[in-house]
Structure 1
Amino acid sequence: MSTILLTGATGFLGSHLLESFIKQGLDVIVLKRTTSDTWRINHLLDKVKIYNIDKVDFKTVFSDEKVDVVINTVCSYGRTNESLIDIINSNLIFGLNLLNEAIKNNVQTFINTDSLLPRNLNDYSLSKAQFADWLSQRSEKIQVINFKIEQMYGPKDDTNKFLPWLMNEMIAKTDDINLTSGIQKRDFIYITDVVAAYDLVLQKTMSLPKWSQFDIGTNIFTEVKEFVLILAGEVEKLNKSKIAYKLKFGKIPYRKGDVMIPELDNTKLIGLGWKPKVTIIEGIQKILKD
């Protein structure tokens, strides 16, 4: 059984990964900050070993523990007015320090969480791409698996992301909900399907090369407008109130450089035996039941 060092365990993806690893009986070491909000994983804290990384350095963690696999899910999107330095520290410098210590201590595998956004779209995507460059360059010294994820969604997501924000607006019965025209397409993937990809690849590390990169997505591209209308329909059923007429498509412009349809190729992941299982309607229903 592998010992996993998990970063970002208090976040959306990290918390769902931790839940899955604990259910499988894996040994997990969690890195967090003393200021981290642990609401997503409070029920799991007594089942893992925790290091507060603002109190203990990486060198101490790796000298105290025999780590087989590092899984890095830490990121800063820059959505809450973080400075450029904060974004780079989270997405690049933190990862480089972690990678360097993992190599020094003969860790078998480093699994990273990356983005499918174009490299130069914004500070977030550039810093994530730069870290992926370093991972590829260092993969001769440690096995690296880089996951590039599309539009994942599910329960316990950050409220400043699009879907939770929109759902809250609908449930709060806001008068007008201003949106773009919504013709941009996204590959909406439910969080349990993302976790299943990590679980599968974790089981197959021994058969993978020193450098692997996988796109995680359903390969089904849905217009944002269609997704929003599906969500509105499910909320209407739940609350027995009309919502669709409040959706003002085209009232706000697209973000600069907004991607109209992402580039994604999930054939390598499919080839390993992974398959997405949750449809958009099923995923939305699951969130609304939580």
Structure 2
Amino acid sequence: MKILVTGATGFLGSQLVKALRLDGHTVIILKRSTSDCSRIQDILPDLITYDADRGQWDAPFFEQGRIDAIIHTATCYGRNNESITTMVDANVTFPLKLLDMAMHFGTPVFLNTDTFSSAPIRLSKHLQPYNLTKRKFREWGKCLADTSSLQFINVRLEHVYGPYDNTNKFVTSVIKSCLENQPELRLTEGNQARDFIYVEDVVSAFRVLLAHVARLPAGFTEYQVGTGTATSIREFVELVHQMTQSSTVLKFGSIAYTDREIMHSHADTRPLQALGWNHRVKLEDGLRKVMATFK
């Protein structure tokens, strides 16, 4: 297949494009001219690249012939104090332009990377702008898929972790704090439960969906990606603390819960399992792999 990928230089996207190349697909990526390509440096010559910020965002549709699928993994979290307008441009306007081009040029499949945190009816305030943009684009995808021949597959990810993720993410920051034996780690009570899924298992889910795309329902479909089991934040942090034999003092309860905190989330993996997918990496094994990269 000829596949266009956004976010290919990021944590998930970089591992995804490597897997797609190994599967024999032709991979086209949309990136910024300023993107850090270190995660994909070894396969960059094998990819067809375009710089979206140089006006090339629509060039693949004109220059590469029929594109069989688009996988959208690029996102703006707002963690670097980006404006609301920037987040809307990145998370709604840009992928909506790609959807429009896909329908115009006959690309039949659009796989959208979504997050569990955008699902609740009442969004958590501290992530509200980000989650609102994710929700709005999902709604646009459903609208367009319901009124055209486009197949819009919403891939709703639980809490993804793995090697070489950004250090400001929860999992990596906890591991880093414990490995460095920082004096203390301030936390909530830790009763929130999350479904921690290793990044390789997420990549395999995308591969399974692509392999079975011809038999998936038309229009809008959603697949949840996780282990199907939730682990409390307290259990998770205590596990990392024990595995690293850290002297860091865990100060549970020193941070208040945020307003509208999601207290429990886990994936319903039955639809993916029906396609032959199962997660393979257990939490402790995945954490060991992440810790090895820190060492």
Shared fold per TM-score greater than 0.5: yes
User: Within 5 A, what are the aligned runs for 1:70-149?
Assistant: 70-117=70-117, 118=120, 120-121=123-124, 122-139=128-145, 140-149=148-157
| 1:6-32 C-alpha deviation (Å, 9 max, x unpaired) | 000011110110111112121100110
- Equivalent pairs counted in the alignment come to 283
State the partner residue of 1:214: 223
User: Within 5 A, what are the aligned runs for 1:59-78?
Assistant: 59-66=58-65, 67-78=67-78
Segments of 5+ residues of structure 1 without an aligned counterpart are 237-241
**Does 2:260 align with 1:278?**
no
Contact 1:3–1:29 (8 Å) recurs in 2: yes
Q: Report the CA distance between 1:60 and its aligned residue.
A: 2.2
Contact 2:227–2:267 (8 Å) recurs in 1: no
Amino acid in the other structure paired with 2:8: A
CA RMSD in angstroms comes to 1.3
TM-score of the superposed pair, with normalisation by structure 1: 0.94
Amino acid in the other structure paired with 1:222: T
Give SS of 2:284's match. Answer: helix
- Measure, in 1, the Cα distance between the counterparts of 2:13 and 2:41: 13
State the partner residue of 2:242: 233
**Does 2:208 align with 1:197?**
no
Give SS of 1:144's match. Answer: strand
- Measure, in 2, the Cα distance between the counterparts of 1:51 and 1:110: 19
State the partner residue of 1:255: 258
Q: Report the CA distance between 1:194 and its aligned residue.
A: 0.6
Give SS of 2:251's match. Answer: strand
- Measure, in 2, the Cα distance between the counterparts of 1:166 and 1:59: 40
**Does 2:50 align with 1:51?**
yes
Q: Report the CA distance between 1:81 and its aligned residue.
A: 1.1
Give SS of 1:261's match. Answer: coil
Give SS of 1:178's match. Answer: strand
Amino acid in the other structure paired with 1:50: T
Give SS of 2:102's match. Answer: helix
User: Within 5 A, what are the aligned runs for 1:15-34?
Assistant: 15-34=14-33
State the partner residue of 1:36: 35
Give SS of 2:39's match. Answer: coil
Contact 1:10–1:38 (8 Å) recurs in 2: yes
State the partner residue of 1:7: 6
| 1:159-183 C-alpha deviation (Å, 9 max, x unpaired) | 1111111112122221111111111
Give SS of 2:263's match. Answer: coil
Deviates more, 1:263-272 or 1:81-90: 263-272
- Measure, in 2, the Cα distance between the counterparts of 1:179 and 1:5: 40
Q: Report the CA distance between 1:61 and its aligned residue.
A: 2.1
- Measure, in 2, the Cα distance between the counterparts of 1:25 and 1:155: 24
- Measure, in 1, the Cα distance between the counterparts of 2:266 and 2:23: 33
Q: Report the CA distance between 1:263 and its aligned residue.
A: 5.6
- Measure, in 2, the Cα distance between the counterparts of 1:146 and 1:178: 35
Contact 1:58–1:101 (8 Å) recurs in 2: no
**Does 2:165 align with 1:165?**
no
Aligned sequence identity (%): 36
Amino acid in the other structure paired with 1:221: A
Picking from 192, 209, 229, the partner of 1:184 is 192
Give SS of 2:13's match. Answer: helix
- Measure, in 1, the Cα distance between the counterparts of 2:187 and 2:238: 12
Deviates more, 1:250-259 or 1:28-37: 250-259
Amino acid in the other structure paired with 1:127: T
TM-score of the superposed pair, with normalisation by structure 2: 0.93
State the partner residue of 1:239: none
**Does 2:290 align with 1:287?**
yes
Segments of 5+ residues of structure 2 without an aligned counterpart are none
Label 1:193 to 1:223 Cα distance change in 2 as closer, same or farther (>3 A): same
Q: Report the CA distance between 1:191 and its aligned residue.
A: 0.5
**Does 2:161 align with 1:153?**
yes
